[in-house]
């Protein structure tokens, strides 16, 4: 699997160690999960190349962050800039502000010219100092703006939507015959991007989420029949809920999008919760935001500005159902529903995530300077790789229910494998 390059790389690199373009990481991927069709793919390894397509002296780069917050965004921006500036000698690096809107001069603010002083300690804070947004940008207008500003390289830092947007910008630049390197740095706190075994922000998220779970557990335990219900992030995949559950070790029930469940009936979730309350007098329940969507009425399929389906609030729904269930059973309970999501994702990256951010960012710069385009940086089996952006479009990574993580979660909660 070769990624697109803008042309022959002729400029010698100022760096000292190099990765050959011919090195590959072999991966067997499942084409369609339902049919278990597999295909072998060999990904290009990321890393500095000996010859560069861009002449650092005349090169201008841009960075944009889009979508929701994830710990580590500022680390990524900073490392992109520092690698471009110090290692390659690119002196003009612009930070486009407010997400993809910032690429349209009529919609956004003027981009910031980044300097070492400006990025100095941005990694000490959460969020993104460039700002972010959801919603589309006219790709023709955006590319024309990049041409006008003589930007040769664009780093798009964001989740699946952002990377799809990056792919559109890449295609538009190609259509306009403009040699633009579009390189994606994958961001999703949910850890659900394919070909990236671990995205930055995930470990920070489970660390923070586990603290919330520990506190919710204390709340439940200190009252008679206390039930703490905590909603965590995870639209399509329950990685955060599962990771935090394992980290905290206090969770009694966990509900995730990958495992549909029933509320009623002798094997349903409510019966299991009742048994737990009668036996132990307290319970901690975790629900991922994308879990149990099939149970909710009024699924109106509203969408956000970026076109993502707005999920119905499973946390509120469960909270109501648990409350009425115990009222009907005449068992007094103290139910507390908590949603710490925004408090988690706005925190700064922990040390492990900061390392990940730095390596993702520097590999993105190496790819761009070599003239590679229409790709994101991936990571599989501890190797950083080049993944063509179009490969991402049709896939989402979810937790394997026969895998180590979910099986570990079942072992630590003691809950049945299924509420059916």
Q: Measured from the CB of residue 192, what is the shortest distance to ligand ATP in angstroms?
A: 9
Does residue 374 belong to the site contacting ligand ATP (CB under 6 A)? no
Half-sphere exposure of 47 (CA within 13 A, CB side): 16
281 binds, among Mg ion, ligand ATP, none (CB under 5 to 8 A by kind): none
User: DSSP H helical segments within 187-255, as ranges?
Assistant: 202-221, 239-248
89 binds, among ligand ATP, Mg ion, none (CB under 5 to 8 A by kind): none
User: Using CB under 6 A, which of 48, 62, 67, 131 touches ligand ATP?
Assistant: 67
Does residue 260 belong to the site contacting ligand ATP (CB under 6 A)? no
345 binds, among ligand ATP, Mg ion, none (CB under 5 to 8 A by kind): none
Give the Cα separation of 322 and 325 in Å (integer).
Answer: 5
Does residue 102 belong to the site contacting ligand ATP (CB under 6 A)? no
Rg (CA), the chain: 23
306 binds, among Mg ion, ligand ATP, none (CB under 5 to 8 A by kind): ligand ATP
Does residue 396 belong to the site contacting ligand ATP (CB under 6 A)? no
Cα angle 112, 54, 146 (rounded to 5 degrees) comes to 40
CB atoms within 10 A of CB 280: 12
Catalytic residue, candidates 21, 75, 160, 190: 190
Do the beta carbons of residue 277 and residue 298 sit within 8 Å? no
Both tokens of residue 106? 């009529």
Give the Cα separation of 413 and 217 in Å (integer).
Answer: 13
Considering the complex, state which of residue 134 and residue 397 has its C-beta at the smaller distance from ligand ATP.
Answer: 134
Do the beta carbons of residue 240 and residue 288 sit within 8 Å? yes
55 is catalytic: no
User: 166 φ, ψ to 5°?
Assistant: -60, -40
378 binds, among ligand ATP, Mg ion, none (CB under 5 to 8 A by kind): none
Q: Measured from the CB of residue 191, what is the shortest distance to ligand ATP in angstroms?
A: 10
158 binds, among ligand ATP, Mg ion, none (CB under 5 to 8 A by kind): ligand ATP
CB atoms within 10 A of CB 293: 16
What's the sign of the alpha-carbon dihedral 169, 170, 174, 179? Answer: positive
User: Using CB under 6 A, which of 162, 236, 252, 373 touches ligand ATP?
Assistant: 162
Does residue 100 belong to the site contacting ligand ATP (CB under 6 A)? yes
Does residue 92 belong to the site contacting ligand ATP (CB under 6 A)? no
Do the beta carbons of residue 226 and residue 393 sit within 8 Å? no
Does residue 134 belong to the site contacting ligand ATP (CB under 6 A)? yes
Closest CA to 115 of 129, 99, 101, 102: 129
168 binds, among ligand ATP, Mg ion, none (CB under 5 to 8 A by kind): ligand ATP
Q: Measured from the CB of residue 26, what is the shortest distance to ligand ATP in angstroms?
A: 28
Q: Measured from the CB of residue 308, what is the shortest distance to Mg ion in angstroms?
A: 6
Closest CA to 382 of 359, 351, 401, 406: 359
Does residue 161 belong to the site contacting Mg ion (CB under 5 A)? yes
> If 0-12 CB within 10 Å is exposed, 13-18 middle and 19+ buried, where does residue 408 land?
middle
Does residue 99 belong to the site contacting ligand ATP (CB under 6 A)? yes
Do the beta carbons of residue 105 and residue 170 sit within 8 Å? no
Considering the complex, state which of residue 66 and residue 335 has its C-beta at the smaller distance from ligand ATP.
Answer: 66
Point out which span in 123-131, 164-172, 222-230, 265-273 binds ligand ATP (CB under 6 A).
164-172
Both tokens of residue 177? 């015959």
Q: Which residue has the tokens 């994958």?
A: 186
Considering the complex, state which of residue 72 and residue 165 has its C-beta at the smaller distance from ligand ATP.
Answer: 165
Considering the complex, state which of residue 145 and residue 199 has its C-beta at the smaller distance from Mg ion.
Answer: 199
Does residue 160 belong to the site contacting Mg ion (CB under 5 A)? yes
Active-site positions? 190
Give me the residues that bind ligand ATP (CB under 6 A), please: 66-68, 99-100, 134-136, 158-162, 164-165, 168, 188, 306-308
């Amino acid at each position: 699997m070769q990624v697109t390059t803008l042309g022959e790389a002729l400029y010698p690199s100022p760096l000292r160690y190099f990765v050959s373009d011919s090195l590959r990481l072999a991966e067997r991927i499942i084409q369609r999960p339902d049919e278990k069709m597999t295909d072998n793919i060999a990904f290009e390894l990321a890393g500095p190349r000996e010859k560069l397509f861009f002449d650092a002296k005349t090169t201008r780069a841009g960075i944009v962050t889009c979508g929701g917050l994830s710990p580590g965004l500022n680390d990524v921006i900073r490392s992109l800039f520092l690698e471009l500036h110090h290692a390659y000698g690119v002196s003009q690096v612009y930070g486009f502000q407010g997400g993809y809107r910032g690429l349209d001069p009529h919609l956004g603010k003027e981009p910031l010219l980044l300097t070492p002083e400006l990025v100095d300690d941005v990694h000490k804070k959460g969020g993104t100092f460039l700002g972010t947004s959801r919603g589309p940008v006219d790709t023709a207008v955006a590319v024309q703006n990049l041409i006008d500003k003589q930007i040769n390289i664009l780093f798009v830092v964001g989740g699946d939507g952002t990377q799809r947007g990056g792919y559109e910008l890449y295609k538009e630049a190609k259509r306009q015959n403009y040699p633009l390197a579009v390189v994606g740095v994958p961001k999703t706190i949910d850890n659900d991007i394919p070909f990236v075994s671990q995205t930055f922000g995930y470990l920070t998220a489970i660390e923070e989420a586990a603290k919330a779970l520990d506190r919710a557990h204390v709340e439940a335990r200190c009252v008679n029949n206390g039930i703490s219900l905590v909603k965590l992030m995870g639209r399509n995949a329950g990685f955060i809920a599962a990771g935090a559950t394992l980290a905290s070790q206090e969770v009694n029930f966990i509900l995730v999008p990958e495992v549909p469940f029933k509320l009623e009936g002798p094997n349903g979730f409510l019966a299991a919760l009742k048994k737990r309350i009668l036996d132990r007098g307290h319970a901690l329940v975790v629900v991922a935001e994308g879990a149990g969507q099939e149970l909710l009425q009024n699924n109106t399929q509203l969408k956000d500005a970026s076109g993502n389906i707005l999920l119905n609030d499973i946390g509120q729904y469960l909270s109501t159902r648990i409350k009425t269930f115990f009222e009907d059973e005449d068992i007094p309970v103290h139910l507390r529903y908590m949603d710490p999501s925004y408090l988690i994702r706005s925190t700064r990256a922990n040390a492990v995530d900061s390392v990940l951010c730095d390596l993702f960012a520097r590999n993105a710069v190496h790819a761009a300077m070599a003239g590679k385009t229409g790709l994101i940086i991936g990571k599989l089996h501890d190797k950083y790789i080049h993944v063509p952006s179009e490969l991402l479009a049709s896939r989402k990574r979810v937790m394997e229910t026969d895998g180590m993580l979910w099986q570990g979660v079942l072992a630590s909660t003691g809950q049945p494998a299924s509420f059916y």
